[in-house]
Structure 1
């Protein structure tokens, strides 16, 4: 499956899950205006993972600052590195405010994405991006909590790739879902959307 097809499949899976739990108010490329607290709370929640340094990270550790969440994997051909680059640029556009936020890059491929692999992969992007991995049950629980989609797809050579949701979640300082963050804009426009929550 091509990265574009994977993006569309993941986006559709996210939309279907969000529709069932949040009244279909979440959509790509826009803000979830008009959603109630109950609807927003349908995305996100408790998690326990390990970051690229081997340290345990829970949802409590990231509260107090707004944060972004993006699901992907280090063998992703172009969707993941592109998103991480765009997040890096947005953080640069935030200037000093970047210190008041962070991003979580959550693997959907923990079998290959060890803390060491995540550390090497993320070295090309903003230090504000924290890589999260863990056991398969831990990863699956976080994917479910964020109403994301991830599925292993075998390749002809015996290897495999991962289809996954290609949405960046904007979460507020309390860990509540705000909106999907549209990265198809200038870094300054993305930064302007994040800044009110800093």
Structure 2
């Protein structure tokens, strides 16, 4: 075998070995996810990239952190009470999924985090959440606190001319985030096109697995 042929052969074997190793590692990472059976797709950046600490004020005026709020299965949504359509519909969908889980014996806490640090208060958050579900918790905060919570969950929001219009709208992402107390943390997000029944089924799957880890 010539030097060039031998070099080519060694290179080919090396590339194949690297490819096999990468495949094996990917397989190991997937199999290591104890919630894999509950997922319907991959999460960009991995689940560890979403979730984290936050400090906000709850609907009763109490300063809280994520440890006070996420004490069990928790479904978080970021929006605002002045939202004319999307937020009421999405929170109503979340509440319906939670009611269905209640009927099955699963206790999941719905949370509504306001991104409107100008207009939303504990009082109007409480009025909003009490209509949706008796366990729904409303959270508000300062600009810095809200932005920190939004970054932790990789959400997006942008105010539209708040200085000139008291009825300004806010562009914001619309996913709902399922989290558990640490060390588990965030496990899944749900887009707004997921029906209440499907959401309840998937959350129940995650909760069942989480209970085996306790």
Partner of 2:174: 166
Residue by residue over 1:137-192, the C-alpha shift from the partner in whole angstroms, topping out at 9 and shown as x without a partner, is 11111011111111111289733211111111122343522222144344222111
Partner of 2:66: 59
Match runs of 1:1-198 below 5 Å:
31-33=40-42, 39-96=46-103, 100-154=107-161, 158-159=165-166, 160-174=168-182, 176-198=185-207
SS in 1 for 2:49: coil
Q: Tell me which moved more, 54-63 or 41-50.
A: 54-63
Q: Where does the alignment leave 5 or more consecutive residues of structure 2 unmatched?
A: 1-38, 208-214
SS in 1 for 2:131: coil
Q: Where does the alignment leave 5 or more consecutive residues of structure 1 unmatched?
A: 1-29
Separation of aligned partners in 1, 2:102 and 2:202:
14
TM-score (norm 1): 0.75
Aligned residues of 2:76 and 2:176 also touching (Cα < 8 A): yes
SS in 1 for 2:91: helix
Aligned residues of 2:174 and 2:192 also touching (Cα < 8 A): no
Higher relative contact order (CA 8 A, sep 6+): 1
Equivalent pairs, count: 167
Separation of aligned partners in 2, 1:158 and 1:186:
34
Aligned residues of 1:47 and 1:138 also touching (Cα < 8 A): yes
TM-score (norm 2): 0.70
Q: Tell me which moved more, 90-99 or 65-74.
A: 90-99
Shift of 1:71: 0.6
Pick closer, same or farther for the CA change 1:60–1:74 going to 2, 3 Å. same
SS in 2 for 1:69: strand
Question: In angstroms, what is the RMSD of aligned CA positions?
Answer: 2.4
Shift of 1:134: 1.3
Larger Cα Rg: Structure 1 or Structure 2? 2
